[in-house]
Amino acid sequence: DAGVTQSPTHLIKTRGQQVTLRCSPKSGHDTVSWYQQALGQGPQFIFQYYEEEERQRGNFPDRFSGHQFPNYSSELNVNALLLGDSALYLCASSLTGHTNTEAFFGQGTRLTVV
């Protein structure tokens, strides 16, 4: 049973560029959440996708956008990259409609903006 997979594992981008990160949820899961983790800090919630729509959003600017596909996989897009966007980006999948189920995380994508 495949867990949550993210790609790429590492990425280096230049300030001002755009980046797309990808996530495939755990088999059977329909909900994908994205988190940003700066060095030395806990993960911060960016947004969550369910039924191909953004359902919840954290305190992140509109430069951060996403998409969910019919197969439940998801993309995180960041435009106009800033040096401060350098972080580990984590994807978590879960199952809507089930009480108190835990979220499963991928290994993350390490984004470095130079």
Partner 1 sequence: DAKTTQPPSMDCAEGRAANLPCNHSTISGNEYVYWYRQIHSQGPQYIIHGLKNNETNEMASLIITEDRKSSTLILPHATLRDTAVYYCIVRAPGDGGYNKLIFGAGTRLAVHP
Which residues lie near partner 1 (CB under 8 A)? 4, 30-31, 33, 35, 41-45, 48, 50, 55-56, 58, 88, 90, 92, 94-108, 110
Q: Which is nearer to partner 1, 73 or 107 (CB)?
A: 107
CB of 96 to partner 1, least distance (A): 3
Query: Least distance from C-beta 112 to partner 1, angstroms?
Result: 14
Q: Smallest distance, Å, CB 20 to partner 1?
A: 19
Q: Nearer to partner 1 by C-beta: 15 or 55?
A: 55
Nearer to partner 1, 14 or 39 (CB): 39
Q: Which amino acid is at 1?
A: D
Non-local CB neighbours of 106 within 8 Å, separated by 6+ positions? 3, 4, 5, 6, 23, 90, 91, 92
* 20 vs 55: CA distance, rounded Å: 20
| Closer Cβ to partner 1, 15 or 57, answer by number | 57
In the complex, what is the shortest distance from the CB of residue 108 to partner 1, in angstroms, rounded to a whole number? 5
Buried b (16+ CB within 10 A) or exposed e, 28-58: ebebbbbbbeeeeeebebbbbbbeeeeeeee
The backbone torsions φ and ψ at residue 85, rounded to the nearest 5 degrees and listed phi first, read -80, -5
